[in-house]
Amino acid sequence: MSELPVIPRPWAQRWNDFRLRAMPFVVFGVALVCTAWLWNKNWGPMTFVGEVEGPRATVVCTQAGYLAEVGVEQYAAVRRGDVVAVVRVSSDQTLEASLEAIRTEMGVMRVRMTQDQQRNRQNYQQLRFDWLDQRVALAVARANLQFAESELSRMERLRADRISSEAEYELALDQRDALKVEVAERARLVDEMGAAVEGMITAGAEEGPGILRAITAAIEAQEAQLEQTEGAIRLRAPIDGVVTSIARRPGEAIMAGEPLVEIAGEQPEWIKGYIRQPIGFQPKQGDQVEVRTRGNSRQVGMAQVTAVGARLELFSQSLRIRGFDSSMERGLPVLLDVPPDMRLYPGELVDLYLKSAN
CATH number at residue 327: 2.40.30.170
Do 80 and 114 share a domain, yes or no? no
Q: What is the pLDDT of residue 261?
A: 92
Do 337 and 305 share a domain, yes or no? yes
Say if 21 falls within a structural domain: no
Do 192 and 129 share a domain, yes or no? yes
Do 330 and 260 share a domain, yes or no? no
Cα distances (Å, whole numbers) of residue 345 to 54, 254, 311:
9, 33, 27
Q: What is the pLDDT of residue 5?
A: 74
Say if 28 falls within a structural domain: no
Do 254 and 273 share a domain, yes or no? no
Domain count along the chain: 3
Taking 70 as the pLDDT cut, the residues of the chain under it are 1-2, 38-46, 90-99, 102-103, 106, 110-124, 200-231, 280, 317-327, 356-358
Do 256 and 279 share a domain, yes or no? no
CATH number at residue 65: 2.40.50.100
Residues 166-219: tens digit of each pLDDT: 777 788 788 888 888 888 888 888 888 777 777 766 655 445 555 566 666 666
Cα distances (Å, whole numbers) of residue 311 to 47, 111, 274, 281, 333:
19, 66, 11, 15, 8
Cα distances (Å, whole numbers) of residue 163 to 12, 30, 70, 156:
91, 73, 18, 10
Do 96 and 202 share a domain, yes or no? yes
Do 125 and 176 share a domain, yes or no? yes
Residues 255-290: tens digit of each pLDDT: 888 899 999 888 888 899 888 877 767 888 888 888
Do 287 and 312 share a domain, yes or no? yes
Q: Which domain holds residue 258?
A: 56-86+234-264
Q: What is the pLDDT of residue 358?
A: 47
Distance (Å, whole) CA 228 – CA 124:
32
Say if 4 falls within a structural domain: no
> SS3 of 279, please?
coil
Say if 300 falls within a structural domain: yes
Say if 271 falls within a structural domain: yes
Say if 19 falls within a structural domain: no
How many other CB atoms sit within 10 Å of the CB of residue 216?
Answer: 14
Say if 30 falls within a structural domain: no
Say if 16 falls within a structural domain: no
Closest CA to 342 of 303, 306, 304: 303
Closest CA to 79 of 106, 111, 107, 57: 57
Do 134 and 74 share a domain, yes or no? no
Do 200 and 259 share a domain, yes or no? no
Do 103 and 76 share a domain, yes or no? no
- 99 touches 136 (CB < 8 A): yes
Q: What is the pLDDT of residue 44?
A: 47
